[in-house]
Amino acid sequence: MKKVRITVNGRVQGVGFRYTTKMLADQLGITGTVKNESDGTVTIEAIGEPQVMAQFIEGVKGSPSPVGKVNDTTINEDPSIETRDTFDVVYS
């Protein structure tokens, strides 16, 4: 399993980005979390098979929200991400 932390910059808050990211993750079988950050970015912790993770990352880069716009992503593998059974929206 591949574990990655993705920081997403752009028009990603207030546009349904977290919920559509959850829908994409559920569709692909990715587990983890998505949450808004105080600086306007969104942080995603995702766990999945490498081939599926590549699909998920491409979907995030293209913005799963039709009214969102991703300007930049930072992706780092992080084996310390907690294993989860579901993909959840985290509320701050």
What amino acid positions are annotated as catalytic residues? 18, 36
Whole-angstrom distance, CA of residue 58 vs CA of residue 43:
15
